[in-house]
A = this chain, B = another copy of it.
């Protein structure tokens, strides 16, 4: 998403320094398949931490090679080389032998056609056990209160400007989520509404009688009811932020490269939480019907948020950019003429007289896949990018990016799902060339060719989706059956069965 406009725009922004050098990580494919994932039943516990402060839950990141594929692919060194081959673009899936992914989840991926050195997508699929947090004093809770919680977790991470952020997020984001849920283990299992206030006294029970704490001077006639569901949403939101902060802390020592979009699914206590920060997408296909479970965050969809920020904090524009949008670049000779523009409060367009400030480069420009913030980046939410600066300038872009996901909730218990009902997650490599309807058609076509209880059908579906977006090499390019160009991007797909044989267990 970074590359295309960068060179074209280099001479357009004012200052003339060299572009920031981005250190390349050594290419050590053999090093990456070594450390196996900890078994999900007994993940390594991070050091206990008190309160809800910002301490990192996971161990300090060791310096790692930036080229790795998800461990559940169980790639041999030779397989890893094939997965890294831009010419062949072999579709990768977990082996049909051995342990399946939870819920018989299907997965497939393919590397890009040369856009970046390695596959910058990453993926993670885990069952995560959440132990209730020990009290602040360190004394364990009574056993009766100590029942933990399990959640199922799927994550797709689409990296840009390097593979480091996506790789780090795929290893650690679910641990941040676990850490945020630790405080909630008892509360979520209690049918009563969550307590509004928790005492700080060591060892005291979490569900204190907070109602007594309401003084007579409260101006609200009633307290706001907070649901269990909204606590899980808040936990996921804060986990994204803590993951992003960890990347900021560790980038100096360990070179967290670039940034990544993150699309994450958490299944907990009967509900599916889909959290999206970036331009990946999730849809549910249920009885042939499409239910969107995310929306994309791009310079176009977030234009008004970005413009408002530039308007309220003009120092973030560094005198190089204007928060106004124009339908094309304004030329100096047009000074005094009237041109179409959009302000942060507008969805329509109007004419304004061109002034000197309007000759600055627009904060948001371009359309569709070419839309950019500060002429540089095509996604506006995600993790990392702490080093990202405007080309040939020192202006940081991170202040305009948000690490917060939008979380949508789907209650699995409200509908009796059949084995053909699936949740499909894909990075933009899939969706750039495949519509929701085409995905639904492929779901129908592939799944109906397999027995409902055949657990390999979801992997076959994921492969079909990746193949359908990649195409086949023809006429010096990857082409789809309709002769249009296939996606030259990295493509990664999860197919999560909602009523399959192994679901919810």
A401-417 interface bits toward B, Cβ cutoff 8 Å, 1 = contact, 0 = none: 01010110000000000
CB atoms of B327 and A196 under 8 A apart: yes
Contact residues in B for A404 (Cβ distance below 8 Å): 345-346
State in angstroms the CA–CA spacing of A224 and B334 once bound together.
Answer: 18
State in angstroms the CA–CA spacing of A394 and B24 once bound together.
Answer: 56
A361-372 interface bits toward B, Cβ cutoff 8 Å, 1 = contact, 0 = none: 100011100100
State in angstroms the CA–CA spacing of A232 and B351 once bound together.
Answer: 11
- Name the segment of A109-117, A212-220, A467-475 touching the other chain: A212-220
Contact residues in B for A312 (Cβ distance below 8 Å): 309, 312-313
Contact residues in B for A199 (Cβ distance below 8 Å): 337
User: Taking each of A52, A214, A334, which has the highest tally of chain B beta carbons within 10 Å of its own beta carbon?
Assistant: A334
Nearest-neighbour CB distance to chain B for A348, whole angstroms, equals 3
CB atoms of A347 and B230 under 8 A apart: yes
CB atoms of B370 and A52 under 8 A apart: no
Kindly state whether residue A428 has any CB partner on chain B within 8 Å: no
**The one of B53, B219, B235, B327 that contacts A224, using a Cβ cutoff of 8 Å:** B327
Contact residues in B for A225 (Cβ distance below 8 Å): 327
State in angstroms the CA–CA spacing of A197 and B341 once bound together.
Answer: 10
CB atoms of B348 and A233 under 8 A apart: yes
Nearest-neighbour CB distance to chain B for A195, whole angstroms, equals 8
Q: Known contacts A350-B180, A350-B235; is A241 also within 8 Å of B340 by CB?
A: no
Contact residues in B for A323 (Cβ distance below 8 Å): none
User: Taking each of A196, A200, A236, A339, which has the highest tally of chain B beta carbons within 10 Å of its own beta carbon?
Assistant: A196
User: Taking each of A9, A225, A340, which has the highest tally of chain B beta carbons within 10 Å of its own beta carbon?
Assistant: A340
Kindly state whether residue A5 has any CB partner on chain B within 8 Å: yes
CB atoms of A351 and B241 under 8 A apart: no
User: Taking each of A217, A309, A342, A348, which has the highest tally of chain B beta carbons within 10 Å of its own beta carbon?
Assistant: A348
State in angstroms the CA–CA spacing of A460 and B199 once bound together.
Answer: 60
Q: Known contacts A197-B338, A338-B198, A342-B234; is A218 also within 8 Å of B328 by CB?
A: yes
Counting every copy of the chain, the complex holds: 2
Kindly state whether residue A493 has any CB partner on chain B within 8 Å: no
State in angstroms the CA–CA spacing of A365 and B220 once bound together.
Answer: 8
Nearest-neighbour CB distance to chain B for A185, whole angstroms, equals 13
Kindly state whether residue A445 has any CB partner on chain B within 8 Å: no
**The one of B11, B331, B353, B370 that contacts A215, using a Cβ cutoff of 8 Å:** B331
State in angstroms the CA–CA spacing of A220 and B325 once bound together.
Answer: 13
**Nearest opposing residue in chain B for A331, CB measure:** B215
CB atoms of B349 and A226 under 8 A apart: yes
CB atoms of A52 and B338 under 8 A apart: yes
CB atoms of B351 and A183 under 8 A apart: yes
Nearest-neighbour CB distance to chain B for A27, whole angstroms, equals 33
**Nearest opposing residue in chain B for A234, CB measure:** B348
A5-43 interface bits toward B, Cβ cutoff 8 Å, 1 = contact, 0 = none: 100110110000000000000000000000000000000
State in angstroms the CA–CA spacing of A217 and B375 once bound together.
Answer: 14
Kindly state whether residue A329 has any CB partner on chain B within 8 Å: yes
**The one of B218, B231, B232, B327 that contacts A223, using a Cβ cutoff of 8 Å:** B327
User: Taking each of A217, A238, A350, A406, which has the highest tally of chain B beta carbons within 10 Å of its own beta carbon?
Assistant: A350
CB atoms of B349 and A215 under 8 A apart: no
Known: A196-B328, A197-B337; 17 extra A-B contacts, CB below 8 A, are A8-B219, A52-B351, A196-B326, A200-B338, A213-B334, A214-B328, A218-B329, A219-B365, A219-B366, A220-B328, A222-B367, A226-B349, A241-B345, A312-B312, A312-B313, A345-B402, A347-B406
In the A-B complex, the 6 residue pairs with the smallest Cβ-Cβ separation, listed nearest first, are A233-B348, A234-B348, A224-B327, A234-B350, A345-B404, A223-B328
Selected A-B contacts with CB under 8 Å, 26 pairs: A5-B219, A51-B338, A52-B338, A196-B339, A197-B337, A197-B340, A214-B329, A218-B328, A218-B329, A219-B365, A219-B375, A220-B370, A223-B328, A224-B328, A224-B367, A226-B327, A230-B347, A232-B348, A234-B350, A236-B348, A237-B345, A237-B346, A237-B347, A237-B350, A308-B308, A312-B313
